Amino acid sequence: MAETYVTTAYERLQIAHLRWRKRLQKWISRSREKVSFVLIPNDEKPLAQIEISVGMLGFLFGLSVSLVLLSFGLLLYFSFFFERNLSLEKKTETQLVSFLFYDLLSRDLRESVEELESMTESLNLLAWEEIPEKEMITQDYLLKEEFRKDASELDSNLLLFQQVVTTYTQFGVRLGNLVPNFQNAIDYLSMRESIFYSMPRGRPLKPGVGVVTSTFGYRSDPFGILPVGEYHSGIDFAAGEGTPIYATGPGIIAVDTAVGGLGKSVRINHENGFFTLYGHCSLILVNPGDRVKRGDKIALVGQTGKATGAHVHYEVRIGLDAPLDPEEYINLD
C-alpha cells in the first residue's frame, strides 16, 4: 500500500505565499506594459501619440468609477434622504435681517455722533477757548475690535457681521472720547454758572426806583468838613424813606451789621468770599443768620448814621480786599 504524504500548515502557507507572489509579479509586469493612444488631427499636422502604462490606466479608471459612484450616491442622498433644517435656516435669515437693520441704523448713528462731536468742540471752545481733546485723553484704554482683512475667506453674511461690529466698535471709541471732554466742559461751565448766580448782581432798589447821588471813588465831603474830599467806598441811591431794599444776591445775613457811619446797615455774606453792605437803613427786616435769596426784601431806605438825606449806601467787597466798584456788578444784571 502506497504511503500518503500530508503537508504541514507551514508548508501550505509557503505554497500560498509563492502563488500570490507569482501572481503579483505577473500583474506588475503586465501593468508596466504601455498602451498607446494615437490622436489624429483634422488638419495636416503630424499624428500625436500618447503612451500610458496599463497600471496607470487602471488607476485612472478606478478613480473615475469611484467619483461617479460617489456623485451618484450624493445625488440619491440629497434627493431622497436629506432633510432641511428649517429652524436653522429661519434663524439665519432672522440674523441676516437684524444685521441689515443695524447696518442701516449705523448710518444715522454716524451722523448723530459727528454732530455730537461738533457740538462738543464748540462747548470746549466756549469753556476753555481751545479743544484739549488730544492732551486730555488717549484711546489706549478703550474697547477695540480687530478682524482679518482677507475678505476672500469670508462669505457675505460674515462680511456684513464684520462691518456692523466694526462700525459700532468705532462709535464706542468715539463716544468714549467725547464723554470726558463733554463732562469737563459741562463741569467747568456749571462752576462758572454757580459762581455767576452766587455773585451780587443788579441794583439794591427796584428798577426805576431811586437815583444815584454819589458814585464810587473820591468825592468832595458832603458835610464840608474835609477840604481834600473823601474816598467813597460804594454807590448811593437816593429814594424816599421807607423804600424797600432788596438783596442783590443769595447769602447769609452777617451777625455784626453795624459799620461805622453807615448807621443801621445789613451785611450779606455770599459765596466765593463776596459780601455786600446796605447802609443808612431806617428799618432792618432780617435777622443775623437768616438765609436770603436774590430779590428778598431785607430793609427800608432811611438816613441813619452819617447821612444828609434818605438813601441807601451800597458796597461790594471780597474778603479783606479793598472795596470794589459796585457799578460793575450792577451792570451784570
- pLDDT digits over 34-89, tens only? 777 777 777 767 777 777 777 788 888 889 999 999 998 888 887 877 777 667 66
Strand, helix or coil at 48? strand
Same domain membership, residue 121 and residue 52: no
Same domain membership, residue 177 and residue 253: no
Task: Give the pLDDT score at 222.
Answer: 61
Same domain membership, residue 241 and residue 186: no
User: What's the number of domains the chain is made of?
Assistant: 3
272 pLDDT higher than 80: yes
- Return the axis-axis angle of helices 86-128 and 156-198, rounded to nearest 10°: 30
Predicted TM-score of the model (pTM): 0.50
Residue 302 lies in a domain: yes
Residue 259 lies in a domain: yes
- State which H helix or E strand residue 265 sits in: none
Tell me the three cell numbers of residue 125. Answer: 471752545
Residue 103 lies in a domain: yes
Write b or e for each residue in 161-179: b if 16 or more Cβ atoms lie within 10 A of its Cβ, otherwise e: bbebeebebeeeebeebbe
Same domain membership, residue 124 and residue 77: no
Half-sphere exposure of 294 (CA within 13 A, CB side): 15
Tell me the three cell numbers of residue 246. Answer: 432788596
Query: Exposed, middle or buried, 278 (CB in 10 Å: 0-12/13-18/19+)?
Result: buried
Confidence of residue 242 (pLDDT cuts 50, 70, 90): very high
Tell me the three cell numbers of residue 124. Answer: 470746549
Where among 161, 176, 198 does a domain terminate?
A: 198
Confidence of residue 186 (pLDDT cuts 50, 70, 90): confident
**Residue-range definition of the domain harbouring residue 62:** 9-87
